[in-house]
């Protein structure tokens, strides 16, 4: 069940993928997930329009080094010409995979016809895939089960993606109207898997190794994508894939801090490490009292001190 996965001309080291997560899946986090056994990691969603105008915030999301062996960027966009320009452009020259975001539920994104709005416009969604394919790179799609409870079209959408040339599709089993809550429609993923020959990855609501295996079994999906739980407990990649790693959560956080501060400024590093530590504190008893000091720490030195306090105390407490 847990195995290597072929996508286009690439063989991914495992079929356990780390989801794109805005605010989190920067270069340091992706390196961590790969180290722990993730088969594929994506940048945070990056606006194709923003890249066209070389907007600094969006360009920073592309940061990578030669140490990241498989590079996958997630693009958000709704205009096939802009997507083609970006996909074929110099900024993405190091990237092997382009993932197109067709699932973002955020109102502004939806209103502008991007993200999950593309599930209401299959011809345009297909045109976006074809535009990105002109780059010669592997093109993948991340979508939802549909937009509303009575608009669940995962199988039809998967067929469209395959016909347009997509190499893999990830389905977040919730509809746009569910945002991030509620039980995903895993049967929609199962139907999509049965409808196409390209790999189908199941996403949504996986918060333990057992759930990951069950979702794969129930849907027949070729792999799973872990999102929020990967922040809370990145060791899930190690546990599922059997990748050796003896590090503690504290060690991981300190390494992340050091790597982030090598590539980003202090403001960004503080924000990233605070958010990551905050996820890591979930379900760790006795850590709540420190939350305020985590957010009050004004320098990396102060933050390190707080993190040491929080995670040395709870190191032996296993994840639930
Ligand atoms: C904070 C946050 C940021 C997210 N950012 C992205 C993103 O940039 N691109 C994307 O396709 N999905 C994004 N998602 C959705 C996740 O990738 C995933 O589909 C969703 O959280 C469901 O998986 P889960 O239930 O395992 O968390 C984000 C979700 C959260 C909570």
Domain boundaries along the sequence of the chain:
5-241, 249-313
Please give the class, per CATH, of domain 5-241. alpha beta
CA of 223 to the centre of ligand 1 (A): 17
Indicate the pTM of the whole model.
0.97
Of 104, 132, 143, 161, catalytic: 104
Helices marked H in 48-195 — which ranges? 48-52, 56-60, 80-88, 107-111, 122-133, 154-164, 186-195
239, 14 Cβ separation under 8 angstroms: no
**Token representation of residue 29:** 């986090």
Alpha carbon distance 141, 154 (integer Å): 12
Lining residues, ligand 1, CB within 6 Å: 19-23, 44-45, 74, 101, 103-104, 142, 172, 180, 203-206, 226-229
Q: How far is the CA of 104 from the centre of ligand 1 (A)?
A: 8
- C-alpha span between 158 and 170 (Å, rounded): 9
Q: What is the crossing angle of helices 249-263 and 300-313, to 10°?
A: 160
Compute the distance between CA of residue 188 and CA of residue 190 in angstroms, rounded to an integer: 5
Per-residue pLDDT of the chain (320 residues; tens, 9 = 90+): 999 999 999 999 999 999 999 999 999 999 999 999 999 999 999 999 999 998 888 889 999 999 999 999 999 999 999 999 999 999 999 999 999 999 999 999 999 999 999 999 999 999 999 999 999 999 999 999 999 999 999 999 999 999 999 999 999 999 999 999 999 999 999 999 999 999 999 999 999 999 999 999 999 999 999 999 999 999 999 999 999 999 999 999 999 999 999 999 999 999 999 999 999 998 777 787 888 889 999 999 999 999 999 998 654 444 54
């Amino acid at each position: 069940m847990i195995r290597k996965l072929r996508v286009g001309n690439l063989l991914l080291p495992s079929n356990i993928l780390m989801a794109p997560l805005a605010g989190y899946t920067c270069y340091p986090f992706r390196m961590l997930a790969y180290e722990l056994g993730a088969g594929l990691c994506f940048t945070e969603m990056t606006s194709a329009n923003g890249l066209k105008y070389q907007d600094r915030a969006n360009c920073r999301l592309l940061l990578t080094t030669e140490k990241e062996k498989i590079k996958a960027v997630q693009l958000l966009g709704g205009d096939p010409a802009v997507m083609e320009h970006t996909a074929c452009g110099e900024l993405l020259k190091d990237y092997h995979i382009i993932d197109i975001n067709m699932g973002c539920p955020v109102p502004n994104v939806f209103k502008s016809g991007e993200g999950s709005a593309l599930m209401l416009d299959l011809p345009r969604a297909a045109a976006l895939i074809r535009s990105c394919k002109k780059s010669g790179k592997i093109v993948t799609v991340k979508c939802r089960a549909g937009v509303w409870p009575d608009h669940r079209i995962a199988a039809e959408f998967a067929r469209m993606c395959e016909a347009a040339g997509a190499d893999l599709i990830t389905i977040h089993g919730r509809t746009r109207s569910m945002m991030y809550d509620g039980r995903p429609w895993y049967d929609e993923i199962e139907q999509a898997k049965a409808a196409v020959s390209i790999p189908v990855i199941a996403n949504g609501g996986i918060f333990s190794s057992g759930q990951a295996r069950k979702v794969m079994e129930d849907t027949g999906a070729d792999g799973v994508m872990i999102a929020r739980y990967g922040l809370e407990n990145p060791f899930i990649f190690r546990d599922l894939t059997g990748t050796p790693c003896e590090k503690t959560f504290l060690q991981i956080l300190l390494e992340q801090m050091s790597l982030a501060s090598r590539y980003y400024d202090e403001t960004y590093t503080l924000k990233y490490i605070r958010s990551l530590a905050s996820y890591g504190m979930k379900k760790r008893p006795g850590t709540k009292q420190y939350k305020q000091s985590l957010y009050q720490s004004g320098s990396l030195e102060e933050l390190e001190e707080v993190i040491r306090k929080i995670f040395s105390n709870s190191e032996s407490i296993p994840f639930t």
